[in-house]
Structure 1
Amino acid sequence: MTTDGDETRGTRRARARARTPFVACPACGTEVRWTGYREHLGKCAKDVLEKTPREAWRDGDGGRGAYETTRAINDAFAEDVKRMCFRARDGMGDGERMTPEACAAALGVPTGRVKTTLRRASLAVELARDAAPLDVVHEDDEFLVVNKPPNLRFHPNHRFEGNSLLSRALHHTKGETPYIVHRLDMDTSGVAVFVKKQSLVSDVARQFHEKTARKTYLAISVGVTPPGCGDGFVVDAPIGDHGVVKEARNVDFSGEGKEARTVCEVISRNETALFDISDETVAATTTPKGVSATSATNDSSPSATAALVLVKPMTGRTHQIRVHLAHAGLPIVSDALYGPHIRWGAQSADENEKLTWSASQLAACSSENPTQMHQMTPPDECDSPHPSGVWGGSLSIGRQALHAYKLELVHPVTGQMLAWQAEMPEDMRRVCDALGLDSTGYS
């Protein structure tokens, strides 16, 4: 039975605990109550606790002296770590730059202690701001929507480097923080959104994570339209690791691939002489596995085709659009891993053996999946030949001809559907002109 005295003692303890201040651990940044600070240090940074004189904890100053002592000891440790792991590389220290493991061994601490220190040191560096122009599609108090140019990283490799979309957004918003909720590949241009209001970040990011944010892309392809599919088709084909080329992905029906679905609509097409359709009899007459029509077709005979394709990915696998269009027989122009210049553009017998998906290779594939990518070996992006010959000139733009055209999401507070569009960039307009494709309304 609880007595009034017990309740009084419990209340006093609760009040005393509530009055106990919180302090930030200098080693990991965690906020802990002062009464538990010493115990926390013993787990988080035992080296700091061992170097703190015992008398520091007994000073009658409410712990201020002990706390400042531990901070000073940790600051000295952090300087040693930065000197050994960062500055040696920059000529500011002695010898070679050390790995976290080597640094930890030299200082007699766990590797995790060094890694935490390095991570906090990196985060303490202010993100670089880049004054380069930013193509703003829409801006208000909550969102900054931009048209990302091609060949620009979404975020920098290092915090002290600029030359990224985030760096430009930071300069543009000045005192405000543009929060990242999604990304575009470096080589992909198009609409990108930053959230300026922190309270909206988690809800908007969740829409991208759960794939309820709707994304529409424009791709320029050269190949063979999937037989019987007309202007509309869906690629419902799992995607997995390539198995040979680290950077590449492929269609994988073995059960190891992850579910992937892409809806495609050809909005402009034109016959092309870039390759010989007679060499593509298998691909031209057989619909690949996992590809189905969404519209009727009047195709009388297969032809070598250039196409401007409107693409809606229903899932978010790595290289999904690039892999699925190549699987369907319409690889994206200038794509370093899966492009038509690799499939049909080998310049020598050696290249042909390594790179070209020839008729004999296609014939060796399953008849229900004639462009089965995991049976081919695309090159490493670094080793991939640049488009040349008929694939050079205006068709060689130094990146895949893929543009994020439209983005739709729901406002987390109002429930309003938000939609933004970004015009096709100049390099892709030139490709459309060279292939005789009509990009009116999209550029």
Structure 2
Amino acid sequence: MTQEINLKSEISATQTGLRLDQAVAELFPDYSRTRIKEWILSGAVYVDGVAVTKPREKVLESQIIEIEATLEEEVSAQAEAIDLDIVYEDDHILVINKPAGLVVHPGAGNADGTLMNALLHHCPDIEHVPRAGIVHRLDKDTTGLMVVAKTVEAQTHLVAALQAREITREYEAIVLGTMTAGGTVDAPIGRHPTKRTHMAVHHSGRPSVTHYRVAEKFRAHTRVRLRLETGRTHQIRVHMAHIGHVLVGDPVYGGRPKPPKGASPEFFEILKGFNRQALHAVKLELVHPVTLEVMSWQAPIPEDMVLLTKALRKDTEEHPLEYL
């Protein structure tokens, strides 16, 4: 089970000059120092509305402290020998190409078989890093590139870079409907007011920005490239649904198969058989937290999305007048 945590308090005169982690621990004594540090590093703690990811940052009287986090059931993760597709590794960071079906963190119903379990086996010392070094998440059925920090110092640097929008994350997706042009979705995202597992565009949500461009048009679908400025839960899926272009196969936001008129039975079967959101983290670019070198990686499009794209092209070729 998970619980949404929304806390708010004000720094008192006696707390002026304390480190952020110390002040937050005093303000919210029900939560452990370890959990508070994890929240700070993950960007869930806000000072006067700005995410602060440095536990040692000093606080001042009258500053408003807010915490927006998900409190997950405590699970003691164990090391497991799970194969990882490692794209890059050194003493400080690890970049992986995550397959569909791999859950990132253990939780209720997923106590093992997760990326965290795999990381603890591959790099045992990572147990000393909050969240086993995981800097950002991908949904269970989203594929592609993720960076993991192997030290606390690397994680602190990468989380700060992520919050400062200094890490480039590009995705490829296939959506329902034919887009005419690219654009930007600038719409706040928060927890859905009635559906606990859903996110939604909501006026009280956190600022969320997604840029997209058309890569290829089909009869009734579009292949798009997207770049995130922010990293909210389900951001691309929610933003695309918000503008009327749900991701193909999305089980949460309504990407059910909708073959165009006259589609062949073979094409319909491929579309119906695509049972995950058609979303892949194709590019990751960042400044290395220690060497300060600009590094960039790309992950090939997974086979299921390649096959879907080929089927969409064939369907379009078979109905050229409709496409035009």
Q: What TM-score, normalized to structure 2?
A: 0.63
1:203 is matched with 157
Say whether 1:327 aligns with 2:242: yes
Matches within 5 A, 1:172-183: 172-174=122-124, 177=127, 179-183=133-137
Equivalent residue for 1:220, pick from 161, 169, 174: 174
1:154 is matched with 104
2:279 is matched with 402
1:311 is matched with 226
Question: What is the rounded CA distance, in whole Å, between the counterparts of 1:314 and 1:175 in structure 2?
Answer: 31
Check whether the contact 1:403–1:424 (CA below 8 A) recurs between aligned residues.
Answer: yes
Say whether 1:132 aligns with 2:47: no
Shift of 1:160: 10
Check whether the contact 1:395–1:434 (CA below 8 A) recurs between aligned residues.
Answer: no
Write the deviation string for residues 295-342 of structure 1: whole angstroms up to 9, x where unpaired: xxxxxxxxxx32211111212222221121122232100001223427
Letter in 2 for 1:436: R
Question: What is the rounded CA distance, in whole Å, between the counterparts of 2:283 and 2:204 in structure 1?
Answer: 31
Determine which structure has the larger strand proportion and give its number: 2
Query: Are residues 319 and 198 of structure 1, via their aligned partners in 2, closer, same or farther at CA, if it must alter by over 3 Å?
Result: closer
**Structure 2: which 5+ runs fail to align?**
1-73, 260-264, 315-324
Shift of 1:188: 1.2
Check whether the contact 1:264–1:309 (CA below 8 A) recurs between aligned residues.
Answer: yes
Shift of 1:240: 3.9
**Equivalent position SS for 2:218:** strand
Write the deviation string for residues 366-410 of structure 1: whole angstroms up to 9, x where unpaired: xxxxxxxxxxxxxxxxxxxxxx99765344333211111111222
Shift of 1:153: 0.7
Question: What is the rounded CA distance, in whole Å, between the counterparts of 1:425 and 1:401 in structure 2?
Answer: 10
Question: What is the rounded CA distance, in whole Å, between the counterparts of 1:130 and 1:395 in structure 2?
Answer: 34
Question: What is the rounded CA distance, in whole Å, between the counterparts of 2:205 and 2:268 in structure 1?
Answer: 31
1:189 is matched with 143
Say whether 1:170 aligns with 2:120: yes
Identity of aligned residues (%): 38
**Equivalent position SS for 1:341:** coil
Question: What is the rounded CA distance, in whole Å, between the counterparts of 1:397 and 1:337 in structure 2?
Answer: 14
Matches within 5 A, 1:63-78: none
Question: What is the rounded CA distance, in whole Å, between the counterparts of 1:236 and 1:431 in structure 2?
Answer: 29
Question: What is the rounded CA distance, in whole Å, between the counterparts of 2:155 and 2:286 in structure 1?
Answer: 13
Check whether the contact 1:234–1:262 (CA below 8 A) recurs between aligned residues.
Answer: yes
**Equivalent position SS for 2:304:** helix
Write the deviation string for residues 102-147 of structure 1: whole angstroms up to 9, x where unpaired: xxxxxxxxxxxxxxxxxxxx78x5x322222211111112211111
Check whether the contact 2:178–2:218 (CA below 8 A) recurs between aligned residues.
Answer: no
Question: What is the rounded CA distance, in whole Å, between the counterparts of 1:234 and 1:206 in structure 2?
Answer: 24
Shift of 1:209: 3.2
**Equivalent position SS for 1:150:** coil
Shift of 1:159: 12
Equivalent residue for 2:208, pick from 260, 279, 303: 260
Question: What is the rounded CA distance, in whole Å, between the counterparts of 2:293 and 2:312 in structure 1?
Answer: 39
Shift of 1:257: 4.0
Query: Are residues 432 and 416 of structure 1, via their aligned partners in 2, closer, same or farther at CA, if it must alter by over 3 Å?
Result: same
Question: What is the rounded CA distance, in whole Å, between the counterparts of 1:256 and 1:175 in structure 2?
Answer: 40
Question: What is the rounded CA distance, in whole Å, between the counterparts of 2:101 and 2:110 in structure 1?
Answer: 19
Query: Are residues 258 and 137 of structure 1, via their aligned partners in 2, closer, same or farther at CA, if it must alter by over 3 Å?
Result: same
Say whether 1:339 aligns with 2:254: yes
Question: What is the rounded CA distance, in whole Å, between the counterparts of 2:268 and 2:250 in structure 1?
Answer: 11
Determine which structure has the larger helix proportion and give its number: 1
Check whether the contact 1:146–1:192 (CA below 8 A) recurs between aligned residues.
Answer: yes
Question: What is the rounded CA distance, in whole Å, between the counterparts of 1:174 and 1:246 in structure 2?
Answer: 34
Write the deviation string for residues 152-211 of structure 1: whole angstroms up to 9, x where unpaired: 111222799430112122222355555222221112111111112333221112222333
Check whether the contact 1:238–1:251 (CA below 8 A) recurs between aligned residues.
Answer: yes
Paired residues, number: 235
Question: What is the rounded CA distance, in whole Å, between the counterparts of 1:128 and 1:186 in structure 2?
Answer: 19
Letter in 2 for 1:220: I
Letter in 2 for 1:405: V
CA root-mean-square deviation: 3.2
